[in-house]
Structure 1
């Protein structure tokens, strides 16, 4: 991976980065991303008019405390106790599933659960669905089971329902992990064009996770996108000269032409987008335009997620972010992903405003 500046001291181009991520690093980095490093139940602010949000905090807090091993018996001893307790029908769920629209704080709550679970960091894992499938690809199925089977908790953010092969793979993996005593928590990417704003996402999720439905308690979290509650609209796109000047004036910034970046994303596996953005302090893009097709759009969604996780501001020229996806895309099966990407890029554009004014 290239350095954070070119030889002449200018900004690096993301298009010059094709990172390789070793398998051991994939495991070590399965923790909440920087944006959610400080996420706690105490600093999640439920909307007063949405009682389901406060209820989710209560239920998840109790779930976390229920995962405490107590004493000094060690990891495997804890799992033996869990296996002995689970046959009771009243023992409670071994997993929680957070169902709700984009921007209601599901990832914040999932990260809060990870932090609140009384276990050492190496005994709990947090990652997106894409990161989990990539781990299986890097380690192999059996080694992934052995590696994650030594954990108390596995949190899966943005569980995907649009790739049947990967979904069945992860379904099988989760079955093995439940047998090993691992507790599960997940949020999902539903297909609202088919399911109706995710209202039936829980049922869809539980059908896909074959044989695991008895282990999950589904929590519906209602509300509006918190990123836009009472906040001003994102700034309009800037001119190319402003974006270029800001990129050169901001240490650690990247500078890319948007079409070239979209082309580069097709050559890097989405699981490596986070590493591709490693160390970048701001992403500067010129010539933003609507994405040409759905495959490109879905890759851009993943990049937006990784930038948002890492709190990397995005300064752009060209078209505004709410014009990235066509009306057909926004009506289609993946529209929830596209709306989430617009929401997150809008928040990052707002964060980048000081760079343009500096």
Structure 2
């Protein structure tokens, strides 16, 4: 029987070859979609108390104050039927026959990428005094896929018993999906469900990334009275005071790290982009099931906008799941062309660069230092 040794200062080669994202075509059953409507692993332990407001940005402290009050107001029995409540909805103690308050039943978190909107949204979910089964958290694309899997009426029925629905990354770039979800939200508000949302609005409409409340509220057709917009100013916390992201590694370094890291995947970047076109974006989370690190060779600028938007979704799911990304080729700040970074989706692209850069920093320990 032979044995192997590992030279000092090097990592042992894993027994099995790395995983491949390109070899995966996940199927996500409807019950899993419902069961996973909770904050993702990165935000599982966040709370309002762990959010660190920038002292130079008072809007951040104000957002925490308002959201804490909003969460406290969701105690008591669930609201029911055409605007009536049993008691306690949004902090109003009312009898069963009394009308629900006419003020906002939802909050919208508006701000640039990296100011902690998802952290605050997940903190609201955690702080809401209800069993996990009575509150839901998901991205816009996950919500649209739930409708596709269950059907509209069954989705309304499934979510109507909830105390709170949190929607991260509310999209406005697909009119059809926007109308679909807008109609769904109207039904849920009628059933007494409180709403909270962040959004990836089109920066070309908004001007320097600022949110135009009238644009969003018009898109969700008549729900304007149910939302209070909270502006959150600030810079990207992911890179505040941190060193620059590591430069790309060589193909050999990436491959060696993939073989030496249990649960790592190894894929050629252009082939991965082709594969993403064959997998619905709502399944990108399942695509990374069990993956401990993503290793990519030959990273290069994405060729077109459709591909770029799919990559944004993958970057979001990797970030949510805290999966480090080790790469060779071009650095992540060169993924998107100057035209893309000046266009209508630039807010999404800058967020993807920010998140991938943070994940690249997390991957540094996968490569032994010389």
Where does structure 1 differ by over 6 angstroms across 4 or more consecutive aligned residues?
74-78
Structure 1 distance, partners of 2:320, 2:99, is: 35
Q: CA deviation at 1:282?
A: 0.2
Q: CA deviation at 1:68?
A: 0.4
Q: Give matches, 1:190-229, under 5 Å.
A: 190-229=201-240
Counterpart contact for 1:35–1:308, Cα < 8 Å:
yes
Counterpart contact for 1:79–1:180, Cα < 8 Å:
no
Counterpart contact for 2:115–2:232, Cα < 8 Å:
yes
Give the aligned partner of residue 253 of structure 1. Answer: 264
- Correspondence 1:23 to 2:30: yes
Q: CA deviation at 1:204?
A: 1.5
Counterpart contact for 1:93–1:216, Cα < 8 Å:
yes
Q: SS where residue 187 of structure 1 aligns?
A: strand
| More helix per residue | 1
Q: Give matches, 1:1-358, under 5 Å.
A: 9-69=16-76, 79-81=85-87, 82=89, 84-89=97-102, 92-357=103-368
Structure 2 runs not aligned, ≥5 long:
1-13, 90-95
Q: 1:168 to 1:267 in 2, by over 3 A?
A: same
Structure 2 distance, partners of 1:193, 1:277, is: 32
Counterpart contact for 1:99–1:198, Cα < 8 Å:
no
Counterpart contact for 2:80–2:192, Cα < 8 Å:
no
Q: SS where residue 211 of structure 1 aligns?
A: coil
Give the TM-score, by structure 1 length: 0.94
Q: CA deviation at 1:356?
A: 1.2
Aligned length: 347
Q: CA deviation at 1:205?
A: 1.1
Structure 1 distance, partners of 2:112, 2:190, is: 31
Q: CA deviation at 1:207?
A: 1.0
Q: CA deviation at 1:85?
A: 4.9
Structure 1 runs not aligned, ≥5 long:
1-6
Q: SS where residue 109 of structure 1 aligns?
A: helix
Q: CA deviation at 1:113?
A: 0.1
CA radius of gyration, larger in: 2
Give the aligned partner of residue 8 of structure 2. Answer: none
Structure 1 distance, partners of 2:208, 2:155, is: 33
Q: SS where residue 185 of structure 1 aligns?
A: strand
